[in-house]
A and B are shown apart, each in its own frame.
Chain A
């Protein structure tokens, strides 16, 4: 389990004798639990603290106040840092800035080498990871020759090779075109069927996380609320105040209801399609 307790985080913490003027914490008094197997979505505007929290979970940044612990290991304990990072892996926004190797194989091997994976098994593990994400490339293919979507699949393969128990996708689809984005999300759900891990998905696109177990809404470094997607999609005002837009089918359902057409508030994409087909 990931346990975040009363955590406050500043990128540049003010000194004790210094005025706090002008310095806003990136995260302010956050308390949150994430249980194994859960699919949680962190939602909110840019700068609301979602990505900062993800960096705290992997121990890249340490809390200024409070504690973050992953499966009992506190991230501020240097001795436990490797265990924390093995358990929690992140796929970042820009695929190009997270790839170290020249070829697909070298990039996946990099993390395996870091964690001391048995040398004789590295090649098999690389092949396994490539197959798992359905990357259409052999291990000798240069990373530069991959498309944006393929590069992000490679980033996913490279972190999954390390057998993480928690995977954070930090706006991992935001630099992809719509087709590549859909393919990446489909791949992710396929992978989750074969290989179980807790998923923390950071995004602005609500339609990517309608099947999440829980949404956590962030605003100005604080958790505003959390709940199931159906519960929170009811509260359009709150979503808008957090800079989020409902999926198009939910917006359409609202407009239809305003016109007096009896449509369920919890309408999903498939139901809308059926409704339109029937009415036609």
Chain B
């Protein structure tokens, strides 16, 4: 289980864990919007650095941070090539390095785009890794409560989301078991050649799909037998009250968003 445990929330008693889930979700949305709307390299870099500082404050593993960023390397590389080589506009400062010619402005655009991708991924990783899925679901449900007036199944959607998060590591483990079982029988994804590898994926995905259906069915029965009938008659497990720190986080998120229009 150690191989997949980093995917999920683990209690670390950090400052970020104590934030109210509603405010955390709002802060993530505002910070995400600021990241997307900023056109200043300096501000975007500052926002990314702030997220890295928050990663440390949340007592999350630096190894996981590096792994998360490395897993995006293919996106970073393709973004840089696209922005600096393929979409270079005449009139931009062109730099020739050996056989490669690229645009200086394109490099800046690429770096900003990469920071944007890394920022969004880190922001979501921070949210998921510092908030228990049940707390996150409760926060989402409280924020989306007004939609219930239009009979939208808010509770059910949020419950599905939290269960999906709960079962993600189990499914990854199961996929690994199936992969090893297929390998032991001479099949699987290890063979040379793209076509052979592609053909090897289906026998791994089908059992996983079937197992997921069985698990979902069993879980639905277990939930029903424990008196689950949607949100009808449920007691909230926790009562949430906004603290000063939550207002501070909200204020900072607003200032951060406003800064992009001012600077």
Contact = CB atoms under 8 A, between A and B. Distances in A.
A94 B166 contact: no
Interface string A122-165: 10000000000000000010101100000000000011001000
9 contacts: A60-B225, A85-B226, A100-B163, A103-B132, A106-B237, A110-B226, A115-B227, A144-B1, A144-B170
A279 interface: no
B215 interface: yes
Give the most central of A96, A97, A98: most B CB within 10 Å.
A97
A119 B235 CA distance: 6
B251 interface: no
A159 B222 CA distance: 10
A165 to B, nearest CB: 14
B235 A113 contact: yes
Nearest to B163: A100
Contact of B234 (A103, A116, A158): A116
Contact-residue bracket for chain A: 35 or more
Interface of A: 55, 58, 60, 81-82, 85-86, 89-90, 92, 94, 96-103, 106, 109-119, 122, 140, 142, 144-145, 158-159, 162
Given A101-B134, A102-B132, A117-B235, A162 B226 contact: yes
A144 B5 contact: yes
Contacts, number: 100
Given A102-B134, A113-B236, A97 B225 contact: no
Contacts of A60: 221, 224-225
Interface in B226-241: 226-229, 233-237, 239
Contacts of A119: 235-237, 239
B11 A103 contact: yes
B166 A90 contact: no
Given A115-B227, A162-B226, A102 B234 contact: no
A122 B169 CA distance: 28
A16 to B, nearest CB: 28
Given A106-B132, A114-B228, A119-B236, 13 more contacts: A89-B225, A92-B221, A98-B219, A100-B222, A100-B223, A110-B228, A113-B234, A113-B235, A113-B237, A142-B8, A144-B1, A144-B8, A158-B226
Given A85-B225, A98-B222, A114 B134 contact: no
Contacts of A115: 227, 233
Given A86-B227, A94-B218, A114 B234 contact: yes
Interface in B204-224: 215, 218-219, 221-224
Contacts of B169: 144
B133 interface: yes
Given A96-B170, A103-B11, A106-B237, A58 B225 contact: yes
A101 B234 CA distance: 16
B9 interface: yes
Contacts of A85: 224-227
A140 B218 contact: no
Nearest to A83: B227
Given A106-B134, A142-B10, A145-B1, A97 B235 contact: no
